[in-house]
């Protein structure tokens, strides 16, 4: 489409908008009828560690999304000389799960407790035992039960509990709903019914009754919806919340809000069985759509669903690129001190490509990038740590390769359970997120680490916000009876371009040596957590 046709499509509302609240950035992606990105907007933000809790203020949420939307409006104006007033459909996604409780008047009862917190271990263990189903610490039900165990006063007043995107959707539409993929991180989903597992709900209701609470679980959870289900429309108040200028019109249909895990699956066309994707940004997680249930419960493996309710095995690690980014900032500070000018993307590319020159096992250099706890390795806090033997070749190439290996090492430990113990097979992993922005590097190292082919599409950099826009487009444009799998395969990705990297023998063997040293060093990381307070 030429600029004139795009302008007409934008002004007539033949577009779909996806906005995602990531851990460090809120991003909006506007797509046209061919599903290609037309414009984008962004707002950088950061979580806070207050009183031992990782959180964001709700004022940050609204200031951030308004700035992100304004940035999108500016981009549309500059590119197409068009004014944004409406969309054909829209949707919101966010970092997964966490805890956001409200009373009957809509007052927030506790700080937003994000996925990054590892403060619910007792609740997680007890609920996993009660349900016979793994309940990760970041799940909403773990936070609720931990608040009960802690005797927190606010619990008795809870009338509604949701996640970040569920909260935004509620305020913009008045609808207390959630996509099934994200709902699966609030409370376990029964894939045969497409909603919360009734038997487990009954067990938790027994806990509530015995402790004297007047509400029951289904009274406070959002309604679960499948991808494509109607999920309300933008209200007048919601339009002003998103666009304080008053130009955005009410009445726009919204699709069910989803988590970043679900939008990652959509953005990589990984919603059918035997498909898998790995999302590598602030956190890293792999999603494998299963052909059959796992043989047992594994605390390292989360059972969630696709946006249409299919069972998914998920390996989630709290930290991926945060420590790597910190080292890049340090190198940037050094270069600035010498008066050397280099752009941020060029610096990343230079350091990433340098890593490919390093020894495949990093010659004994090990990096723990933990900013917070990692349940996969049994750590409840994080202490970024670099270790090496005195005779290791401490070169920039080996150091950077160790940093990149660190982003995927904990993920590897969880994936080995699926591959080795459960004999799960996949044709390839689809990669997306910041780790894959430097062409070929993260992709090659990930293929070697996981010992499976890794594919990256040209749209990989768009990530979750684009996936959310696709879910909005599907809800608006799907034909009668058309599944999400068919819609994506035939209408979105039929002509998609990308690259596939096969694992190299030397990378597989080198990472295997690295991960053995890494596993041996976990005790050192745990000691550092105790020692460095």
CA neighbor of 145 nearest in space, from 217, 58, 219, 218 = 217
Q: How far apart are CA 42 and CA 172, in angstroms?
A: 19
DSSP labels, 200-263: HHHHHHHHHHHTT-S--HHHHSPEEE-TTS---B--HHHHHHH-TTS-SPS--BBPPPEEHHHH
Contact 68, 28 (CB under 8 A): yes
The 3-class SS string of 393-444 reads CCCHHHHHHHHHHHHHHHHHHHHHHHHHHCCCCCCCEEEECHHHCCCCHHHH
Q: How far apart are CA 35 and CA 33, in angstroms?
A: 5
How do the pLDDT tens digits run along the chain, 533 residues long?
688 999 999 999 999 999 999 988 999 999 999 999 999 999 999 999 999 999 999 999 999 999 999 999 999 999 999 999 999 999 999 988 899 999 999 999 999 999 888 899 999 999 999 999 999 999 999 999 999 999 999 999 999 999 999 999 999 999 999 999 999 999 999 988 999 999 999 999 999 999 999 999 999 999 999 999 999 999 999 999 999 999 999 999 999 999 988 998 998 888 988 889 898 888 898 999 998 878 899 988 999 999 999 999 999 898 899 999 999 999 999 999 999 999 999 999 999 999 999 999 999 999 999 998 898 899 989 999 999 999 999 999 999 999 999 999 999 999 999 999 999 988 889 988 889 989 999 999 999 999 999 998 876 556 789 999 999 999 999 999 999 999 999 999 888 778 899 999 999 999 999 999 999 999 999 999 999 98
Q: So what's the pLDDT on residue 1? A: 67
Contact 73, 235 (CB under 8 A): no
Q: So what's the pLDDT on residue 497? A: 78
Q: So what's the pLDDT on residue 9? A: 93
Q: List the structure tokens of 107.
A: 């007052």
- Whole-angstrom CA distances from 390 to 354, 363, 365, 387 are 22, 11, 10, 10
Beta-strand ranges (E) seen in 290-354 are: 302-305, 311-317
Please name the fold of domain 322-456+503-531: Methane Monooxygenase Hydroxylase; Chain G, domain 1 (1.20.58)
Q: How far apart are CA 226 and CA 303, in angstroms?
A: 17
Q: Tell me, rounded to whole angstroms, the distance of Cα 286 from its chain centroid.
A: 10
Q: So what's the pLDDT on residue 205? A: 98
Which pTM does this prediction carry?
Answer: 0.82
Domain boundaries, the chain: 322-456+503-531
Q: Classify strands 429-432 and 276-280 as parallel, antiparallel or unpaired.
A: parallel
Q: How far apart are CA 271 and CA 308, in angstroms?
A: 8
Contact 178, 223 (CB under 8 A): yes
Q: List the structure tokens of 312.
A: 């998914």
Q: How far apart are CA 101 and CA 170, in angstroms?
A: 13
């Amino acid at each position: 489409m030429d600029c004139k046709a795009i302008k007409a499509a934008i002004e007539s509302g033949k577009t779909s908008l996806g906005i995602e609240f990531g851990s460090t950035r809120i991003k909006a992606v506007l797509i046209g009828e061919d599903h290609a990105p037309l414009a984008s907007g962004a707002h950088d933000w950061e979580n806070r560690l207050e009183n031992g809790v990782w959180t964001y203020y709700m004022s940050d949420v609204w200031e951030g999304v308004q700035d992100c939307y304004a940035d999108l409006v500016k981009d549309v104006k500059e590119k197409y000389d068009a004014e944004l007033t409406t969309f054909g459909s829209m949707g919101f996604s966010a970092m997964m799960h966490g805890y956001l409780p409200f009373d009957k008047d809509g007052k927030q009862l506790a700080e937003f407790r994000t996925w990054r917190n590892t403060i619910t271990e007792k609740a997680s263990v007890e609920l996993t035992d009660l349900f016979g189903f793994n309940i990760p610490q970041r799940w909403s039900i773990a936070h609720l039960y931990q608040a009960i165990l802690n005797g927190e006063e606010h619990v008795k007043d809870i009338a509604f509990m949701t996640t970040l995107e569920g909260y935004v959707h509620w305020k913009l539409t008045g609808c207390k709903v959630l996509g099934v993929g994200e709902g699966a991180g609030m409370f376990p989903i029964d894939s045969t019914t497409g909603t919360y597992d009734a038997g487990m709900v009954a067990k938790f209701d027994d806990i509530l009754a015995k402790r004297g609470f007047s509400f029951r679980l289904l009274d406070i959870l959002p309604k679960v919806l499948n991808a494509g289900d109607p999920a309300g429309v933008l209200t007048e108040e919601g339009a002003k919340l998103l666009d304080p200028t008053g130009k955005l019109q009410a009445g726009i249909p919204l699709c069910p809000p989803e988590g970043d895990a679900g939008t990652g699956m959509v953005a990589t066309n990984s919603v059918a069985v035997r498909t898998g994707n790995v999302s590598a940004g602030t956190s890293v997680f792999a999603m494998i759509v299963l052909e059959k249930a796992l043989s047992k419960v594994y605390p390292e493996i989360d059972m969630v669903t696709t946006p249409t309710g299919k069972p998914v095995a998920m390996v989630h690690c709290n930290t991926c690129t945060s420590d790597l980014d910190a080292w890049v900032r340090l190198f940037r500070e050094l270069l600035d001190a010498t008066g050397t000018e280099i752009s941020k993307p060029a610096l990343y590319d230079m350091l990433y490509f340098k890593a490919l020159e390093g020894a495949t096992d990093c010659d004994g250099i090990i990096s723990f990038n933990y900013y917070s706890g990692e349940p996969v390795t049994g750590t409840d806090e994080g202490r970024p740590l670099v270790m090496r033997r005195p005779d290791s070749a401490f070169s920039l190439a080996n150091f950077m390769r160790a940093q990149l290996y660190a982003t995927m090492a904990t993920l590897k430990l969880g994936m080995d359970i699926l591959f080795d113990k459960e004999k799960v097979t996949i044709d390839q992993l689809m990669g997306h997120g910041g780790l894959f922005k430097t062409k070929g590097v993260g992709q090659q190292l990930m293929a070697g680490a996981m010992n499976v082919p890794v594919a990256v599409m040209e749209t990989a950099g768009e990530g979750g916000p684009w996936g959310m826009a696709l879910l909005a487009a599907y809800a608006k444009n799907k034909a009668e009876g058309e599944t999400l799998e068919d819609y994506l395969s035939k209408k979105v990705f039929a002509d998609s371009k990308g690259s596939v990297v096969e694992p190299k023998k030397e990378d597989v063997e080198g990472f295997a040596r690295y991960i053995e040293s890494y596993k041996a060093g976990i005790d050192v990381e745990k000691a550092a957590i105790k020692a460095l307070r």
